[in-house]
Structure formats: C-alpha cells, structure tokens
Structure 1
Amino acid sequence: MSVRRTDGPKQPVSLRPTTTETQPKNAVKTGTTPARVKDGFESSAPRRTELARAEQTLTPVPARPGRLPIDSKDAQNAIQASLSYLSPATGAMTLVAPSPSFVPKNVERDELGMTHVRLDRVHEGVKVFGEQVISHLDKDGKVSSVTGEQSTIPAGLGSQKPKLSPAQAIESARKEFDGKPDRQPHAERVIYQDKAGQYHSAYRVEMSQIEGQQNPRRMNYLVDANSGKVFESFNEIDGFSIPKGTKTATLPTEASATTSPKASIADLGTVTSKLKLDQDVTIDKLKLSLDIDHTYRGDLSVTLTSPSGKSAVVHNRTGGGADHVKGDFDLSAFAGEQAKGEWTLTVSDKARADTGVLNSWGLKATGKAPPPTTPPAGKADDTSLYSGKVELQTTKNADGTFSLRDSTRGKGVETFDAQNKARATGQTDFKDTNDVWGESTDDARSHAAVDAQYGASMTYDMMKNVLGRDSLDGAGEKLVSYVHVDNGLVNAFWDGQKMSYGDGDGKTSGPLTALDIAGHEIAHGLTERTAGLIYRNESGGLNEAMSDIFGAGVEWYAAQKNPGVKFNWTVGETAWTPGNSTEDGLRYMDDPTKDGYSIDNYKHYPEQTEVHGSSGIANNAFYLMVNGGKNRTSGQEVKDGIGMEKGLKIYYRALAHYMTPNTTFAQAREACIKAATDLHGASSTEVQKVKESWSAVGVS
C-alpha cells in the first residue's frame, strides 16, 4: 500500500535559497552531484566543509527511540543537517542537473541512537510519485549515509500546465474502474516514472469501492496529465481472498462411528443404544444413518441425544403403514455442539400389535476442530475461537458492563460490532456483564470479537516488545477493529485506518480473525507509516511479504506466552477451510510453491509478478534466515538460522529505515544487510545469514 499522508504538520524549513524556482510550502531546493547521491540505493557521506560539518551537528538528546514531532527542535535540527548534506555550500560553479527538492515526511530515532529523516522528492513544485530519500544520522547528529534514488527529471514537467484538468483525469480513470465509487474520487498532480524509466506529467487518481464488496478496492490510477492515457493501476487494499490457481483443502474435519446392536423392539417397548465419537469436532453438519426393521413404521418414535444432553426427534410416528425406518437424516439442530463423547439413540414403540429390530445406526459429524483450551498462567479466562484461553484488557462502563476497549496499550486497542453492515462505521460496543468473554452463555456475536481484540493486542505487544515500536506510527496509534462486516464476507482487510473482519462463509473460511491474519493486515498499516511500499511490481511483493512476516511474528510472539497458540509457517491456517485438521492455509513461508501459485525464487519472477505470488521470494528468504533450510528451486542451503526475534528486528529495521516506496528485491537485500550491520556488526553471523538467505532465493 502506498503512503498517502504525512504524520504531523509539515513545517517550513529555513535554509538560504539556492534557486529562484517556484517551490511548494515546506519544499527545500537542494543540489547534489553524482558523486554524493548516486543513482542507486546507498551512498556514503564524504567529508564536508567546516560549515557543512557544523550544520550536521545536533545538540545531544536522550536516546529514547520513536517518531519525533516534525516541528520539534530535534527533528528540525536533523532535517537541517540532512538538507545541508544533500545540498552542501560550495564556492565554485558546477555543471549539474537541475537540483531536486525535498519535503520532510517524518523523523525517527532508533534504539541505537541513530536518527533517520525521510523526505519526499518534489520537482518544480510537484511531488514525484513514489520517490523518497532517507538520510541516516549517527549518534552525534552527522549524516553517515543516504538511501534513495535521484534520477534526472526533465525541466518543465512540473512547471508546465497540464492539458487535462483533475476532473478530466478522474474521468479517464473512471472508464477503467468498472463500477460506481462509494467515495468521492481524488486526483493529485504528480511526476510519474514509467517502467522504461521515462518521466511524465501525470495525475494519481484514487477511486474506492469498499462497501459490500467481497474484494474491496482502493484503486490508484497513474494518468498522463496531457493525453489521459492510464500508465498503470493497482489496488492499495490487500485481503485474504484466494488468488487464481491456488490449491485449497478438500475435506474438513470429520468424526464418525457406527454400531450394530441388533436390539429387539418389543411391542410398546423402548430400546436405547449408545455410540461414542472419539474425535473432538465442533459440529457444522451431523448425519444420522438408521437401519430399523419394523412391521409398522407409524408406531415408532426415534430420538438422538448428544453428550451434552441435548435431544432432537429424528422420527415421530410418520409414514403410516409403511415398513421399516431406513436411510440418512440431516440433524442441523446439533450445529455448534461438540461431537466428542457418548451419543444415545432411543427407539420407542408407541402402538400395539407390531415389533421390530434396531439393526444398526451411525453418525458422521462434519465441522472444525476446536482450539486448545488450556489456559496460560495468569488471568486468562476469555475464550477465543482460535487461540484458546486469553486475557483481554477491557473498560468498565457506567452501567456495570464491560466493553472491548483497552486503554493500557498506547492510545488504545478497541473492537466494535459492524452489525453485518457493508460499511464498518460507528462505535457499537460488545458488552459483557462479568468481564469473562467467550463463555458458552455469551452472545455468539462476541466470540469473533474476542479474537479480533486479542489479535490487535498481540500485534501491539509484538511491535512494542520485539520491534521496539509504539504501535504503527511509533507514537501509540490506536488500533481499531470491526467484526461482522457484511454477510458471509470471506475477507479481512486494513483500509488505512482500521481493520474489517468478515465472518467467512463457513466453507472457504470461518471468521477471519486468526492471529496471523490480524498481524498480517495490521502490518500493512506499519508499512504505510514507514516505507510505504507501493502495492505493485517488486515493491508490492515486498509489501505482502512484510505483512506475512510480521503476521507470523505475532503468532510466534503469542505462542511464547499462550499454549493455546500453535506457531507455524503457514498463513491463516486456523481460519481457513473450517474443520480441516491439517495446516491448510493461503501461503507457506517454508515452501511457497506448496500452494501451487507462489514462487520461491527470483528466477521465476518474470512469470509471476502478482504481489501475493511474488511475496514468496522474501517470505522464504526470511524463513531461511530465521530457521535454516534449503530453497526448493535453487537447492541452496542456509545452515543454523539466527532465530525469530533477531530476524524480526532486522526486517523491521530494514523496512522502517532503509526502504522507500519503490524498493526492489535487490534493494531489500541491501536494506536487510545494512540493518543487520547496524544491529550486529559487518562481520557478524547475522549479516552472513542475511546474505546467504537472499542468495538462496536468487537475489544478489
């Protein structure tokens, strides 16, 4: 997903003017020479003049990591130092390309005491789509390196008036949108670089269709500002739909048994027979197979009773003078019951003069395996759908009830009921009288809400305690979730501000509130607030991979504390294909080719460029770095992985501080090497494993 907002108000940066060209507010014209910021991924900082060195020096500040307010003294000092480095004072005339401009986007200090200034590129007053520069300052406030590309842009692309108006650009995009937008379309003037490397005057048109959609869209169209030609388009909203060609599971979990009592049914008599199901299945469908010989069908009453004591009448003296009761009966009355245990069949003869025999009967329960319910240590009395017993932080209301509003994590973690409306809006709380959520006596609608609240809580905790980041924006951003969005929605998605979870259709999926799905989708917000990897091409594959990686990280983190959570390298398996006891999911990070759709090596990228399919490249690189193993395509082996915690920290640092919106797989490799070097040193085992893992997936 691409970044569409700047966190915090943009402040003008006070520097001496270097040009008389028209500049936008906050844009600072700076010059660069090919020797200083090259047309590549990373450049080192050479020595500067005494003036430049003075400008690069920051006042010592506490080393507390996090995002700095853009108008704070520390942030402004870092911005000044960065811009002075990018445009050093020189006394000689130099023949260089027209100088670029930069608008400060955000400033972050990391746990090592380094400061990173992310700047959007602007040309002649117009934003350059997807192009950013990040300057990296050491603990002393001096620029040590710069990340980002700066190709030469032809003069006039920003200053010349486009032939098309924003409204005309929107109309060009509307022709390809094929539907009615549910929000007002938006057009932004940009400079756009096409796949051939040529720059164009363009508009970025955003058009959304989210409400009531199985696959919601927030489409971006890059439209030529003079001809109306659409250069490219992509959808910013990810979701858990099945890409065409993906293999899915076949049989759900079943429990079945038969018995042949051969019990005589006396005139006016009653026979009971018991049968035991051993497999623990939450019933979706229950089939009873009966074989009763009887001389008068209309005499018989047949009742089935579950292990919990619930009964349902199967046959009640119907059929008149016909003989026998044979065949299959579907018993939807037992949906939601647990299959495991002893079932009882009762057959009664209610009229005189006829007898018979209960030859045999059998049960076949189809459903899903329930999650483990062993509670971890501490107050874990809330029952989830997928993660066993969990502990939720809630808010007590004035009426004595409790709501899923947690004020202990950042600015809050909250879950609301979308009431099956197409649009997730409002603040309809789930309420509980005793603050013990997910009990069998609770409203069934609150069950999925337990998982959504737990998933967001674990995502926050993983970011805070492992990555060292206070929520998505680094400043405690509130995490808001909605469950029961629309009817039968087989999807979950982050829309830039909040989470929406569908209930699933009961076949393809159950409620999409599994831990790794929650972590995956919320992590799209982390990518938005940091690198802003654009959701197409190689950057799009990296965007998806980062969400899979951090989603797995959330599942791993929760599993360290909660025995009800099983960590694995499969994406979304607990919610996918309900009742399947295997690790069936959407993607497999340990072997991406297992789904029949994804690729695990860059050599196959030209044949599979769709972002979910190409995410397997970085997914497998991460797996090999963390766990060790072989890449299926190349056969290259990485021995002795570095472990999950180190791996998450390296990839997070690469994303937050060394990737820009258009980062490629090769540049991602370099970003990970740089991040590992910062954390562990250039000659460390961790850096070596980063290199080996990316090489194994064909990225060098």
Structure 2
Amino acid sequence: MASIVGHTQGVNNAIFDKESDLVYYLIADSGVLSYAGSLDVVAHEWAHGITKYMSNLRGRREAGALNESFSDMFGVAVEWANGSQNWVIAETSYNNLTNPPDYLHSLYFPPSRQQAETWGEGWWKNPRLTGPDSCPNPDTTNDSCWVTRNMGIPNKMFYLLANGGFFNNVTVTGIGIQNAMAIMFRATFQKYWKDSIDFARAATGSIKAAFELNYVSSWPQQTSKAWTAVKVCDTMPGDANGSGGIAITDVIYLVNYVFDKSRVSPPCNGTDPGTCWPIDPNCQGELNGDISVNIQDVIWLVNYVFDKSRDNPYCEGANPINCWLPIPTDVCCKLP
C-alpha cells in the first residue's frame, strides 16, 4: 500500500481508502495533534488493507465490528512491539493542546467510549435482521448496524486473551499479546473470519486457529474462555447430556445417541418418534471437528475423559493439557 501525507480532504485523522488501496494521513487543525500522528492509528488503518485482501470482512453488522476490532488489535500490538504498552487507541493525539491526552477506544474498558464489552448487554445494540430492536437496514444513521458500539466486544476478548483477567465470572489466563495477535492474524489469513461472519463463527474460527498454531498449549482453551467471558460463546462441546461438565456419563449418553438406543425414562423406542437421546445444539456431541456426530466422536470423548496419550500430534496425557480437547463447531465455542 502507498501513503499520502498531509492530505487536505478532511482533518485530524488517517484513513484507508478501500478503492485505491491508499492510506491518507490528514492534516491537523491548529492546536490539535492529528490522529494520523499516532502509531496505533496508522497501524489500524494499514490493518484494514490486510483485512481487505485476506478476509474481506464486510463493513456492517458484526463483520464490520470485527473488521474494526481487528484493526484495533493490530494497532495495539504494533505499539507494544515498539515499547508503548497500553490498551487504548490514539492516546498520543487529542483535540486541544491545552487538554491532557485522550483516546478513541479502550480495549481494557470499552464502555469508557460508549462501546459494548458483553454481547447482549450494556452498550450492545442488536445488529441483526431479526429480534428485539433489530437492524434491518445498515446505513449511516445506525453506523452500519452498530459497528462502533459492538466492536468493543472482540476488543475486550482480545484484551482478556492477551493480558488475562476475571470477567463475567470467567477467569482467563493471558497468553501474551504476541501470541494473541498471532491467533487473530491466522484466523484472518486462513479466512476463518471472512465476508459477513458473525461473532459466534468468528469465535470458532479463532479457536481453530489457536489449535493449529499451538495444539499442546493452553491457547485454544484460553481463546475459548475469552470469547465465553464476553458472552459470545455459551455451549460446551462434549457435554452431551447438558449437565454443565464432561464426565463418563456423557460418554454413555453419546453412545446411546449414536446407536439410537431405547430409553426407559422418558419412555422412547429407538427412532420413534426421534432419537431417544437428543443433543441440542448438535455441537455438544460433535467433538473431533468433522461436522457430524458419529462413533469417532465417541472415541474422541472416551480419550478426553480418560486423558489418553496421543501419537500425532505428540502429547503425553495432561502434559501440558488434555490431548483430546474437544474442537468447537459453529456457535459451540466453549471449551471445558
């Protein structure tokens, strides 16, 4: 990408133009430090160029919020790599030189700039076509269905994954900003995040990226916990009987489901009227990532429950984590 410095069509900002692939650094008003002078803002705009060619995330609804959030993640990560360790965007720019430095967004506390940090709560606005207070027509009057408000949710997730923290009764152990950024970059590069994706599928994509980057670490589990903390994820693959945990009883339940066994209570005979051992949503029984529930998932769950060793990829029992951690699918992105 090329850059144009001192552009006069607008002031106090930096902008990535999707049509020309140019980054414009706009002039500053008198007495103002332009956002174009902030390293994280510049990196934010360059990240939009990366997104365009790697995942082409749309600019509306949750995909638009994810697009903006990825740029914030990238901006913060670039500053950290250059010795400025903070969790806000544009802290070195402000509107009046007589006032203390300000910032545009906070990944640590998004509500400080009227952005959501929990799905469905607080500053969150419904970006979807249906449901209460839905947004059927994305346009400038609603910020393309609340992109700026809702980008705070993946921002908060990223902060928790990188730094760690306790939020919404979920404890996340931080894996470091470099590792967290590697996961998000791979999710974008591999197109696990693309087009008009929503947050739930983005969560699944980033957990998948964490698996691929470092299977035998805590990265997948902490990525899942970070998305769970902001309430994007709420279902646990492997919890076949819906008890809230994973145990031998789930193995028994899944065997009964796969082989469609009869059931005494409630009374049910095989496939009449349907499986006697329902799994809803489906991902509670889908563990190995092949998008179907079958005997292979039973084997996977047995290996997980009894924490078996594994030859490929090499893993010895619980060193450092369970070798058969369930692979989340679709909206089922909470790992045990």
1:487 is displaced (CA, Å) by 6.7
Letter in 1 for 2:102: D
Q: Structure 2: which amino acid aligns with 1:495?
A: D
Whether 2:182 is the aligned partner of 1:653: answer no
Residue aligning to 2:207: 673
Give the letter for the 2:208 counterpart.
Answer: K
Cα distance between partner residues in 1 of 2:199 and 2:8: 37
Where in structure 2 are the equivalents of 1:216-295 lying within 5 Å?
A: none
Letter aligned with residue 551 of structure 1 = G
* Alpha-carbon displacement from aligned partner over 1:120-145 (angstroms, at most 9, x marks no partner): xxxxxxxxxxxxxxxxxxxxxxxxxx
Residue equivalent to 1:696: 229
Q: Which letter maps to 1:642?
A: I
Q: Matches of 1:637 and 1:678 in 2, distance apart? A: 23
Deviation for aligned residue 1:533: 0.4
Choose which of 567, 570, 576 in structure 1 pairs with 2:94: 576
Change (3 A) 1:646 1:511: closer
Q: Which of 481, 484, 488 is matched with 2:6 structurally?
A: 484
Q: Deviations over 1:35-92 (max 9, x none)?
A: xxxxxxxxxxxxxxxxxxxxxxxxxxxxxxxxxxxxxxxxxxxxxxxxxxxxxxxxxx
| Cα drift, residue 587 of structure 1 | 0.5
Whichever residue aligns with residue 694 of structure 1, its letter is: W
Residue 580 and residue 667 in structure 1: after superposition, are their counterparts in 2 closer, same or farther (change >3 A)?
farther
Picking from 150, 165, 172, the partner of 1:614 is 150
C-alpha distance in 2 between matches for 1:583 and 1:646:
29
Given candidates 641, 666, 687, the residue that maps to 2:220 is 687
**CA deviation after TM superposition for structure 1 residue 684, in Å:** 2.7
2:13 corresponds to 1:495? no
Deviation at 1:510, TM superposition (A): 2.7
C-alpha distance in structure 2 between counterparts of 1:660 and 1:510, whole Å: 31
Q: How does 1:274-423 map to 2 (within 5 A)?
A: none
Instruction: Provide the C-alpha distance between the structure 1 equivalents of 2:6 and 2:60, rounded to a whole number of angstroms.
Output: 29
Q: Partners of 2:41 and 2:212 in 1: how far apart?
A: 30
Which has the higher Rg, Structure 1 or Structure 2?
A: 1
Pair 1:513-2:46 in alignment = no
Instruction: Give the superposition deviation at 1:486.
Output: 0.8
Counterpart selection for 1:528 from 35, 40, 52: 52
Separation in 2 of the partners of 1:545 and 1:491? 18
**Which residue identity is paired with 1:481?**
S
In 1: Cα distance, 2:92 partner to 2:52 partner: 27
1:520-567 CA-to-partner distances (Å, cap 9, x unmatched) read: 0010000000110000001000000000000111111122xxxxxx23
Q: Does 1:594 align with 2:112?
A: yes
Q: Are residues 1:603 and 2:116 paired?
A: no
- Is 2:164 aligned against 1:628? yes
Supply the distance in 1 between the matched residues of 2:231 and 2:181 (Cα, whole angstroms).
21
Quote the sequence identity (%).
33
Structure 1 counterpart of 2:92, one-letter code: T
SS of the residue 1:630 aligns to: strand
Classify 1:481/1:687 alpha carbon distance in 2 versus 1 (closer, same or farther; 3 Å). Answer: same
Q: State the AA in 2 paired with 1:672.
A: S
Where 1:499 maps in the other structure, the secondary structure is strand
Is residue 31–residue 95 contact of structure 2 (8 Å, CA) maintained in 1?
yes
CA contact (8 A) 1:570 1:584 kept: no
Q: Secondary structure at the match of 1:484?
A: strand
How far apart, in 2, do the equivalents of 1:582 and 1:570 lie?
A: 15
Distance in 1 (alpha carbons) for counterparts of 2:98 and 2:16: 26
Amino acid at match of 1:599: A
Q: In structure 1, the residue corresponding to 2:73 is in which secondary structure?
A: helix
Cα distance, 1:593 vs. partner? 0.5
Give the SS at the match of 1:517: helix
Give the secondary structure class of the aligned counterpart of 1:651. helix
Aligned to 1:187: none
Change in Cα spacing, 1:665 to 1:482, as seen in structure 2 (3 Å) is same
2:11 & 2:76 partners in 1: Cα distance? 23
Deviation at 1:514, TM superposition (A): 1.2
CA distance in 2, matches of 1:667, 1:691: 12
- Which residue type is aligned with residue 542 of structure 1? L
Name the CA shift for 1:580/1:694 in 2 (closer, same or farther; >3 Å): farther
SS in 1 for 2:36: coil
Q: Would you tell me which structure has more helix in proportion to its own residues?
A: 2
1:372-396 CA-to-partner distances (Å, cap 9, x unmatched) read xxxxxxxxxxxxxxxxxxxxxxxxx
Q: CA deviation at 1:602?
A: 0.9
- What residue in structure 2 maps to residue 558 of structure 1? 82
SS at match of 1:502: strand
Letter in 1 for 2:217: S
Could you report, residue by residue, the CA deviation over 1:568-623 in whole angstroms, capped at 9, with x for unpaired residues?
Answer: 1111111233437755211000110111x211111133357421211100001000
Structure 1 residue 547 corresponds to structure 2 residue 96: no
- Say which structure, 1 or 2, has more relative contact order (CA 8 Å, 6+ apart): 2
Question: TM-score under structure 2 normalisation?
Answer: 0.59
Are 1:510 and 1:578, in contact at CA under 8 Å, matched by a contact in 2? no
Number of the residue aligned with 1:643: 176
Residue type of the alignment partner of 1:522: W
State the Cα deviation string for residues 394-430 of structure 1 (Å, max 9, x = none): xxxxxxxxxxxxxxxxxxxxxxxxxxxxxxxxxxxxx
Aligned-residue offset at 1:480: 1.5
Q: Which portions of structure 1, spanning 4 or more consecutive aligned residues, are displaced by more than 6 angstroms?
A: none
- Written as runs of structure 1 = structure 2, the 5 A alignment for 1:67-106 is none
Distance 1:593 1:670, change over 3 A: same
Report the CA distance between 1:481 and its aligned residue. Answer: 1.3
Q: Deviations over 1:347-368 (max 9, x none)?
A: xxxxxxxxxxxxxxxxxxxxxx
CA contact 1:491–1:512 (8 Å) conserved in 2? yes
The residue number in structure 2 matching 1:12 is none
Aligned 8 A contact 1:672 1:690 in 2: yes
1:120 alignment partner in structure 2: none
Deviations for 1:3-49, whole angstroms, at most 9, x for unmatched residues? xxxxxxxxxxxxxxxxxxxxxxxxxxxxxxxxxxxxxxxxxxxxxxx
| Whole-angstrom distance in 2 between the partners of 1:511 and 1:626 | 25
TM-score of the aligned structures, taking structure 1 as reference length: 0.29
Distance 1:615 1:580 in 2: 30
What SS is found at the alignment partner of 1:527?
Answer: helix
Distance 1:580 1:628 in 2: 35
User: Structure 2 CA distance, aligned partners of 1:599 and 1:677?
Assistant: 28
Does the Cα contact within 8 Å between 2:94 and 2:101 map onto a contact in 1? no
User: Does the residue aligned with 1:545 lie in a helix, a strand or coil?
Assistant: helix
Mapped to 2, the partners of 1:529 and 1:557 lie a distance apart of: 24
Number of aligned residue pairs: 211
Specify every segment of 5 or more residues in structure 1 that has no aligned partner in the other structure, as ranges: 1-478, 560-565
